[in-house]
């Protein structure tokens, strides 16, 4: 599936008034939240999609992946590091509902990794670093 097709499906998923059309979009896109092989595609969507609905799909799919699957420690660390960098660089330009979803994902990854690795406990310090840059540049 091409990115433009995915973005159109996401638009239908979140905005369509037609329940059949919305159900079709949901059924087509559910693979992103159910199969761990799609985690890298979710990151690709976050990096390349132009619509907030595609970003929302990627974020909510990753949240479901992190919550429902026992992901390897290194993968969880990679997701965590990716999210911190993503929020630092792209966060201020995102729609508020996308930012909120990504922050929820970061919190969930942190919660599930808190006792597994000390890197998860540095989330406040690392977030303060980029938050101070955002307020200084505003």
- Identify the pLDDT of residue 122: 83
Mean pLDDT of the chain: 90
Q: CA of 36: how far to CAs of 15, 64, 95, in Å?
A: 26, 10, 26
Rounded to whole angstroms, the Cα distance separating 120 from 85 reads: 14
User: Please, which residues have CB within 8 angstroms of residue 51's CB and are 6 or more apart in sequence?
Assistant: 7, 10, 11
Q: What is the pTM of this model?
A: 0.87
The greatest distance separating any two alpha carbons of the chain, rounded to the nearest whole angstrom, comes to 48
Band (pLDDT 50/70/90 cuts) for residue 1 is: confident
Question: pLDDT digit string (tens) for 105-114?
Answer: 999 999 998 8
CA 127-47-102 angle, 5° bins? 40
Question: pLDDT digit string (tens) for 41-95?
Answer: 999 999 999 999 999 999 999 999 999 999 999 999 999 999 998 998 898 899 9
CA atoms within 13 A on the CB side of 84: 20
Residue 25 dihedral angles phi and psi, to the nearest 5°: -65, -45
Domains of the chain: 3-137 (1.25.40)
Q: What is the mean pLDDT of residues 7-20?
A: 96
- Identify the pLDDT of residue 120: 84
The residue count of the chain comes to 138
Instruction: Evaluate if residue 137 carries a pLDDT over 70.
Output: no
């Amino acid at each position: 599936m091409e990115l433009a097709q995915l973005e159109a499906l996401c638009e239908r998923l979140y905005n369509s008034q037609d329940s059949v059309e919305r159900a079709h979009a949901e059924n087509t896109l559910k693979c992103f939240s159910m199969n761990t092989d799609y985690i890298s595609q979710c990151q690709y969507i976050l990096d390349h999609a132009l619509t907030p609905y595609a970003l929302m799909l990627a974020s909510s799919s990753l949240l479901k992946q992190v919550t429902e699957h026992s992901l390897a420690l290194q993968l969880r660390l990679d997701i965590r590091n990716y999210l911190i960098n993503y929020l630092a660089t792209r966060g201020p330009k995102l729609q508020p509902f996308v930012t909120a979803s990504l922050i929820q994902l970061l919190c969930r990854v942190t919660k599930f990794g808190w006792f597994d690795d000390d890197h998860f406990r540095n989330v406040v310090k690392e977030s303060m670093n980029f938050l101070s840059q955002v307020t200084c540049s505003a």
